[in-house]
Amino acid sequence: MTVLAPARMTWRPRVAGVLDRCVREAVARGNKAATLRKLAKSLELSHTSLERMADPRSGRGVMVDLVMSLPRDLAVDVLVALLAQLDDDSQVSTRDTLDAIAIDLGVAIQRLKQDLADGREDEHADHAAAMRRIVSLALRGASACMRRAGGAP
């Protein structure tokens, strides 16, 4: 019998819950292709297997390759919700988050303009770092807003 690391076992029910919630929300928005039965068929899995992966009580894991095989909009919802799970800080102020995003966006735009003026359009690593920071701020803020609205990310 293989014993999994405690961290992996802690995450399994959370990941399953995220998958389940995202599927249910996609169906509620009218995406008829997002039902577990239709997803299982498109992924060439049994319905019960996918259902167990989306059940937090099952102990089954959801692999990244499965998430990446979902329809794009559903995969994005699941991935964003999973990333939001990494940040437990629900006390983040919406105003402070938007202020920080605006400031960082302004700085990133100014740096891009300077790079373009200097003929250094290829500072991709610097631009990527700035965008990752903005995304991280937005994700943290969205996670806090979702928790305050009553839905766990």
Q: Which of 85, 112, 128 is the last residue of a domain?
A: 85
63-109: pLDDT as tens digits: 888 888 888 988 888 888 787 777 666 677 889 989 999 999 999 99
- Rounded alpha-carbon distances, angstroms, from residue 74 to 31, 63, 79, 88, 139: 9, 15, 9, 23, 17
Residue that is last in its domain, among 85, 115, 130: 85
Same domain, 10 and 79: yes
For residues 76 and 94, give the distance between their C-alpha atoms in angstroms, rounded to a whole number. Answer: 22
Q: What is the structure's pLDDT at 152?
A: 53
Q: Give the per-residue pLDDT at 150.
A: 66
State which residues form the domain around 60: 6-85
pLDDT for 98 equals 93
89 or 62: which carries more pLDDT confidence? 62
Position 130 pLDDT exceeds 80: yes
Residues 116 and 80 in one domain: no
Residue 88's pLDDT is 64
Question: The whole model's pTM is what?
Answer: 0.66
